A = this chain, B = another copy of it.
Amino acid sequence: MSQADVPQPGVERRAQEPLGPYVVEDQVGFLLRRAHQRHAAIFLETMARHDLTPTQFTALIKTVELGRVTQNLLGRLVAMDPATIQGVVRRLVDRALIARALDPMDRRTTVLIPTDAGFALAAKAVVAARAITAATLAPLDPEERTQLTALLRKLG
Contacts and interface: CB of A to CB of B under 8 A. Distances in A.
Contacts of A152: 28, 31-32, 34-35, 148
A22 to B, nearest CB: 5
20 contacts: A5-B67, A24-B58, A24-B78, A26-B153, A27-B129, A28-B137, A29-B132, A31-B153, A32-B39, A33-B54, A34-B152, A34-B156, A35-B155, A38-B155, A38-B156, A139-B154, A140-B151, A144-B151, A147-B151, A148-B155
Given A24-B129, A148-B152, 17 more contacts: A22-B130, A28-B136, A29-B132, A31-B155, A32-B36, A32-B39, A33-B36, A34-B152, A35-B156, A38-B155, A38-B156, A137-B155, A139-B155, A139-B156, A140-B151, A144-B154, A147-B147
